[in-house]
Amino acid sequence: MKPALRTICIGAMACALAAGSAADTRAQQTKSVKKVQAPRCSAGATTRLVRYKVERGEALPAAIPKPLTRKPGDAARGLEAAADPGKGNCLACHSIAKALAKADQSDPQSVRTYGNHGEVGPPLNGVGGRYTPGELRMIVVDPKQAFPDAETVMPAYHARKGVKDVVARCRNQVMLGAQTVEDIVAFLEELK
């Protein structure tokens, strides 16, 4: 596994750019004192990056037809991961009617998780009818390969090529593990 690209120092100005350094040192100190595993970046994060093969899609330039794991994705778990601000946090940018419907208006915690959505990306209702499972997998794994416009703001959930200036606690990790990606893909497939 390749380590995430670090900020390269060219002169003092650029060195100051490697702003995570203080936090780094602190994290390292904590690690040596507590002798525990490297702190996880968020609930879904992992350092395990699964290899996959990219092929041409139908509607999109790229797709990953073969699932990342042997165990089939679980759509119900996928919904949870898509809503969870610490996992997929897809609702930060997308509206998903099926997730929003789960919000219990009498419970602030539930409203926080399911009950609000962003408008940065398109609503995901019906997305299972627009794309093949392989294309949906490609979108979640690495949208810069999936979309013709590589300038997309959507984060890659299972790729980390070229990322720089990552906060110490997330370094060398991917946003979501392979099984969670499969769960989310299973959930998206059902959005017909």
Partner 1 sequence: MRRGLAGALLAAVLWSAPAMAAGDGRTGPVKPASADHPLKELWSGYYYASPEIRQMQDADADNPAMALYNKGEALWKKVEGRAKKSCASCHGNATKSMKGAATRFPAYLPLTKKPLAIEGRINLCRQKFMQARAYPPESEAMLALSIYVRRQSYGQAINIPGDGPLKPFVEKGRTYFTSRRGQLDIACAQCHDKYAGKLYRSEKISQGHPNGFPAYRKSWKKTGSLLRQVNQCLARMRAGPLKPGSDSFVNLELYLAWRANGLQIETPAVRE
Least separation, in Å, of the C-beta of 191 and ligand HEC? 8
Distance CA 176, CA 173 (A): 9
Phi, psi of 82, rounded to the nearest 5 degrees: -70, -35
The site partner of 65 among partner 1, ligand HEC, none (C-beta below 5 to 8 Å per kind) is none
Burial class (CB in 10 A: 0-12, 13-18, 19+), 58: exposed
Which residues touch 71 (CB under 8 Å, ≥6 apart)?
A: 179, 182
Rule CB under 8 A: which of 32-91 touch partner 1? 41, 85, 89, 91
Alpha-carbon dihedral 75, 121, 126, 55, rounded to 10 degrees: -70
Nearer of residues 38 and 163 to ligand HEC, judged by Cβ: 163
Site for partner 1 (CB under 8 A): which residue of 8, 116, 123, 150? Answer: 116
At its nearest, how many Å lie between ligand HEC and the CB of residue 44?
A: 9
Q: Looking only at residues 84 through 113 of this chain, which bind partner 1 when binding is defined by CB under 8 A?
A: 85, 89, 91-93
Instruction: Give the residues lining the site for partner 1 (CB under 8 A).
Output: 12-13, 16-24, 41, 85, 89, 91-93, 116-120, 153, 155-156, 160, 162-168, 170, 173, 175
